[in-house]
Amino acid sequence: VSSSASGKSALTFMEQNAEMTTQLEVPAGYQAQVLLKWGEPLWANGPAFDPTQQTAEKQQQQFGFNNDFIGFLPLPLGSQNSEHGLLVVNHEYSISASMWPGSPADTALDKAQTDTDIVAHGLSVVEIQFQNGQWQQLKDSAYTRRITPLTPMQLSGPAAGSPRLKTAISADGVHTLGTYGNCAGGVTPWGTVLTGEENIDAMFAGDYSQSAERETLQRFGMQAKAQKSWAQHYPRWDLSQQPNEALHVGWIVEIDPYNPQSTPKKRTLLGRFKHEGANVFINADGRVVAYMGDDQKFEYLYKFVSSGRYQPDHRAANLDLLDSGTLHCARFDADGTVDWLPLQFGQGPLTAANGFHSQADVLIDCRKAADLLGATPMDRPEDVEVNPANGAVYVMLTKNADRTEAQRHPVNPRANNTAGQIVELVPPKGDHSQPSFAWDLFLLAGRRDDPSSSYHPATGADSWIACPDNCAFDSKGHIWVTSDGAEDFGIAEGVWASAVSGPDRALMRRFLRSPVGSEVCGPFFTPDDKHFFCSIQHPGDGSSFEQPSTRWPDFDATLPPRPAVVVINRPDGKVVGS
Ligand code: FEO
Ligand code: CA
Ligand code: CA
Ligand code: CA
């Protein structure tokens, strides 16, 4: 399906070289427009960006830091319009050394700086339009919204109202405030966005050794030592005072960007772990299937199957589909099958004997439940997405240098895995609700001349990839993959594309080179494949505010490098990839 009539891939763009530079580079015949940058006002009367005069009040009205996931949702709702829509963007985390003059440590921010830092997280919703060959943000739009760690939200699904979720900010265990650590995500067919709360442990600090939640917090990697300043200024993030607050994060949050007044909902049935993101697929019988990765070394892959069915003509009926159904974790077997094991309270080991007293407990302690079921520890599951052209599922496994020889497994076959791999899952007869799928290794990434890598032999000398992180599919079914860690191999981070079947399967081609210190996230196509959005996150990472390794995208000596959303297209109007 991913190939043209000749059987060859339809990808014909001129491949980029692999050199690390201060610039972003796209192939000849393409243009890259910087659309949204950290600190730019999102409203017409919003405060201009001035990194020497930052306040929380200003940041609340400006584009946040470290853009990650991007979703394009056409306007009007339900259309396939590729030239007018909403862009929903995650702001995953902050880097104080890049944001503040003097490059303070993340733990050294005073209260006013911390307040600014907090609202640099979350998401931005903007309305954009393509006119006269350029995209622009409509700054008088009623859809414009900043969602932050302070935005009122609700917990929904089986864990909502659990006594363990009753905290100082939530007397009922249902109401909560905000989202942060938002990494990747997905757009649902009913026009909402799912955003994954990933490294939320970084915001917390404090001694929790006396807490009843000690085991749960430990399993999530919570540390007493501060990594950020939030806990110094707010008891909400101090584990010695409010340990249960940490159970309010680590969820998938569903946001309806078409309704700016809507309250985001944390879908507890999708489990609590370090969510990379969630991608939804409508099964042939109408049930909703969501695939998710827990992005940490030796963590697991998950699948949710709804009880209810998607109703294309009844949006309101779809809005709570993620509140009933079954969550599963994945066990990979050497015979090429992967079994989906239900995380159901009362079944197998998920009983009071192991500390589970309700489905809420299973979901809050999802990692522990999956441990007990014997899920397969993976090499950092990042994006997991269904290819709409062939119905197979693709899992980005970014790397895991801690895997030992003894821990090698057919689906995670390399010890000291610094380069990652992409796994392909095939549901039987295309039915995603089935309890067993077939699996195969699509690509073992890394140096092309590394005998443990597995490229199509025609892959170019500069087109090998390392550390696959996010992915997207164009409507022909080509896979587009971004990297997070290629620089460790001496090559630029970027975007690569390949066919998934036919004679050009796993023939990787490098499409984009990203500026030094960055990673590329959130790739997303418009429905007509003519526009490709991507996030350039943490350009110049590891260098200081005053002496950065790149000043992309402004190249202004008075400004630090800024994370930004880029949109790439062809002035001749042909699809991206051609
Ligand atoms: Fe935030 Fe899994 O990368
Ligand atoms: Ca990621
Ligand atoms: Ca994706
Ligand atoms: Ca990553």
pLDDT per position as a tens digit, 52-62: 999 999 999 99
How confident is the model over 193-205, as a mean pLDDT? Answer: 98
Q: Map tokens 């995650």 to a residue.
A: 90
- Give pLDDT tens digits for 446-475: 999 999 999 999 999 999 999 999 999 999
- Give pLDDT tens digits for 251-263: 999 999 999 999 9
Q: Where are the domains of the chain?
A: 31-88+121-127+134-198+250-258+273-569
C-alpha gyration radius of the chain: 22
**CA gap 473, 495 in Å, rounded:** 12
How confident is the model over 96-104, as a mean pLDDT? Answer: 97
Is residue 8 very low, low, confident or very high in pLDDT (cuts 50, 70, 90)?
low
Ligand 1 atom at shortest distance from the alpha carbon of 183:
1
**CA gap 85, 73 in Å, rounded:** 5
Is residue 498 very low, low, confident or very high in pLDDT (cuts 50, 70, 90)?
very high
Kind and range of the H or E element at 522?
strand 519-525
In short, whether 330's Cβ falls inside 6 Å of ligand 1 is no
The confidence score (pLDDT) of residue 4 equals 44
List the one residue out of 541, 397, 403, 532 whose CA is nearest residue 469.
Answer: 397
**CA gap 182, 535 in Å, rounded:** 13
- Give pLDDT tens digits for 62-75: 999 999 999 999 99
Q: How far is CA 268 from CA 6, 158, 187, 545, in A?
A: 47, 6, 18, 39
The DSSP bridge partners found for residue 505 are 499
**CA gap 347, 185 in Å, rounded:** 30
Residue 346's contacts (CB-CB under 8 Å, 6 or more residues apart) are none
Q: What percent of the chain has pLDDT over 90?
A: 98
The confidence score (pLDDT) of residue 560 equals 97
> With 50 as the cut, is the pLDDT of residue 94 above it?
yes
Options 3.40.190, 2.120.10, 1.10.1060, 3.30.200; CATH of 31-88+121-127+134-198+250-258+273-569? 2.120.10
How confident is the model over 524-542, as a mean pLDDT? Answer: 97
Interface predicted TM-score (ipTM)? 0.93
CA atoms within 13 Å, Cβ hemisphere of 56: 15
* CA end-to-end distance (rounded Å), the chain: 17
Ligand 1 atom at shortest distance from the alpha carbon of 92:
1
**CA gap 375, 349 in Å, rounded:** 13
DSSP-assigned letter for residue 163: G
In short, whether 519's Cβ falls inside 6 Å of ligand 1 is no
List the one residue out of 377, 420, 384 whose CA is nearest residue 400.
Answer: 420
> With 50 as the cut, is the pLDDT of residue 420 above it?
yes
Question: Which two structure tokens, joined as six digits, stand for 394?
Answer: 């693709």
List the one residue out of 404, 485, 496, 489 whose CA is nearest residue 455.
Answer: 496
In short, whether 183's Cβ falls inside 6 Å of ligand 1 is yes
Per-residue b/e over 536-566, b at no fewer than 16 CB within 10 Å?
bbbbbbebebeebbbbbbeeeeebbbbbbbb
Q: Whose CA is nearest to atom 1 of ligand 1?
A: 183
Strand locations in 269-359 (E): 275-282, 287-294, 297-299, 301-309, 325-332, 337-342
The confidence score (pLDDT) of residue 9 equals 73
Cβ atoms 455, 464 nearer than 8 A:
yes
**CA gap 185, 90 in Å, rounded:** 8
Q: Which long-range contacts (CB under 8 A, 24 or more apart) does 8-12 make?
A: 8/502, 8/503, 8/504, 9/478, 9/498, 9/499, 9/502, 9/504, 9/507, 10/476, 10/478, 10/577, 10/578, 11/478, 11/497, 11/498, 11/499, 11/504, 11/509, 11/577, 11/578, 12/577, 12/578
> With 70 as the cut, is the pLDDT of residue 28 above it?
yes
In short, whether 201's Cβ falls inside 6 Å of ligand 1 is no
Torsional class of 416: left (φ above 0), alpha (ψ -120 to 50), beta (otherwise): left
In short, whether 383's Cβ falls inside 6 Å of ligand 1 is no
Ligand 4 center–CA 223 separation, angstroms? 20
The confidence score (pLDDT) of residue 542 equals 82
**CA gap 179, 188 in Å, rounded:** 19
Ligand 1 atom at shortest distance from the alpha carbon of 382:
2
Query: Per residue, what are the HEC states of 230-254?
Result: HHHHCHHHECCCCHHHHHHCCCEEE
Cβ atoms 389, 502 nearer than 8 A:
no
How confident is the model over 271-290, as a mean pLDDT? Answer: 98
Say if strands 152-156 and 175-177 run parallel, antiparallel, or are unpaired: antiparallel
